[in-house]
Amino acid sequence: MYFYEIAIVGQRLQPLSYTHSEELEIGTFAQVKIRNVLKEGIVLKEVEEPTFKCALITEILAKKIAKSSIEIASFMSYYYFCTLAEVLSLFYPQTVSDTTQKTSDFSTDIELSSMQQQALNFAHKHPVTLLFGDTGSGKTEIYLKWFE
């Protein structure tokens, strides 16, 4: 039997220990039970047999994550004071059911002042524009109008 530390994707838990009859690669996705609910986790490392009884990995999934991504996630977890599983959810492969891009109409009822309109006209003429102004001076309204 092999024993592994597994991060349950998206959970605010420290990695948990599970067992499996076969050797697994680091970064392999596995389905495990936690509180009698099936969850997906990522194999982080092989560990020595713990002194407590470990639950079995129920299924090995076809998805994998690169070891370098786990290392980056580990640093991010340390730096931002969150669990490794939370950070790994950012690296989680997403499935897209509909490949067509959806567009929506975006409109606002914002009326710009003459100075804001001048700033908006300037932004349209220059591909890179950064607005400076005091809090509440209307910078966000200019950008919203530009996106509209």
**What digits encode the pLDDT tens for the residues 93-109?**
655 554 555 566 666 77
How far is Cα 102 from Cα 15, in angstroms, rounded to an integer? 37
The arithmetic mean of pLDDT across residues 58-69, rounded, is 90
What's the confidence (pLDDT) of residue 146? 84
Considering only 24-38, 56-70, 97-111, 130-144, which range has the smallest mean pLDDT?
97-111
Helix (H) or strand (E) holding 140: helix 139-147
Say which residue, 9 or 100, is predicted with more confidence: 9
When pLDDT is cut at 50, 70 and 90, the band that residue 10 belongs to is confident
